[in-house]
Amino acid sequence: MKILSFDSSAKTASVAVTDGETILSECFVNAGLTHSRTLMPMVDNALKQADMKIEEIDAFSVNSGPGSFTGIRIGVSAVKGLALANGKPCAGISTLEAIAYNFIDEDAIICASMDARCNQVYAALFKVKDGVITRICDDYAVPISELADKIAEFGDERIILAGDGAELFYNAVKDRLNNIILSSEFRRYQRAYGTALAAIRNNNFEDSSLLAPVYLRMPQAERELKLKKENK
């Protein structure tokens, strides 16, 4: 199965073309550019590098959240449009799960986290062993202190921190937890290739009409509006 995969869930953005679990091409940007400017040119570039046309793609996958509200909407909208126009299925993948797939060759617990502001992170834990990734908990928005309490339950087990919230979390808890390892930067961020691997392993392809963003919490504007109404 040839899959075109997307990530635009945070500052980084990437597009990958895969044939099964074999990566044919991948474009990755970490320059803070607007995803609406960069994503579709990256698609064209990735397809050219793989010497393929969009009509040869069998399915699409995208990180559907959590992450940047605008970034998620851009990625999900792009995939819905391409999947609908080409009559192909698509898969929505947790951004945190895609991060965990960067460490498929490890034997450890992966704590994937993304900066959610206000001293919180979006986080999830995954067990990696013998090339198999098993989810330990659902994605959730959590204060850094509560995530530290959760990780402390694993005792001395090796835990790798990844995602754009990893360094923030590491600096906040490194004096408390001695079994955490901050991942190297080249594997820290979500990549479209991880999105493709998760889609293949989960086999959760569906009609494009069912694909939707996953935010975990309301956008800031909605939260502020709700607070104003409650304080009236």
In a shared domain, residues 199 and 87: yes
Characterize 97-111 residue by residue with b for buried, 16 or more Cβ atoms within 10 angstroms of its Cβ, and e for exposed.
bbbbbbbbebebbbb
Q: Do 71 and 17 sit in the same domain of this protein?
A: yes
Stronger pLDDT, 72 or 220, i.e. the higher one: 72
pLDDT for position 218 = 58
| 230 domain-assigned | no
The dihedral built from the CA positions of residue 215, 134, 114 and 142, taken in this order, carries a sign that is positive
Position 106 scores a pLDDT of 96
65 and 15 belong to one structural domain: yes
Residues 75 and 138 in one domain: no
The pLDDT of residue 31 is 87
Helices (H), the chain: 35-49, 69-86, 95-100, 144-152, 166-173, 185-188, 192-202, 220-230
- Same domain for 204 and 127: no
82 inside domain? yes
- What is the mean pLDDT of the segment spanning 113-131? 96
pLDDT, position 229 = 58
**Domain for residue 209, yes or no?**
yes
Domain span at residue 150 reads 102-188
Domain identity same for 195 and 91: yes
- 232 within some domain: no
Note whether residue 136 is domain-resident. yes
* 231 within some domain: no
The pLDDT assigned to 42 comes to 97
Asked whether residue 120 is domain-assigned, the answer is yes
pLDDT value of residue 76: 98
| pLDDT-derived band at 227, boundaries 50, 70, 90 | low
| Angle at which helices 166-173 and 144-152 cross, to 10° | 70
67/147 same-domain check: no
First to last CA, the chain: 55
What per-residue confidence (pLDDT) applies to 6? 98
* Residues 154 and 218 occupy one common structural domain: no
At 230 the pLDDT is 60
| Model pLDDT for residues 132-187, shown as the tens digit of each residue | 999 999 999 999 999 999 999 999 999 999 999 999 999 999 999 999 999 999 99
User: Which CATH number do you get for residue 112?
Assistant: 3.30.420.40
Alpha carbon of residue 10 to chain centroid: 9
What band does 196 get if pLDDT is binned at 50, 70 and 90? Answer: very high
Q: What's the average model confidence in pLDDT over 115-120?
A: 92
Determine the pLDDT at residue 120: 94
Least confidently predicted of 64-78, 83-97, 107-121, 209-223:
209-223
Q: Mark whether 82 and 160 lie in a shared domain.
A: no
Residues 42 and 24 in one domain: yes
Residue 208 pLDDT class (50, 70, 90 cuts): very high
Residues 86 and 52 in one domain: yes
| Residue 57, in any domain of the structure | yes
Q: Say yes or no to pLDDT of 221 above 60.
A: no
Statement to judge: residues 32 and 147 lie in one domain: no
Q: Taking the model in full, what pTM does it have?
A: 0.93
- pLDDT-derived band at 129 (thresholds 50, 70, 90) equals very high
The total number of structural domains in the chain stands at 2
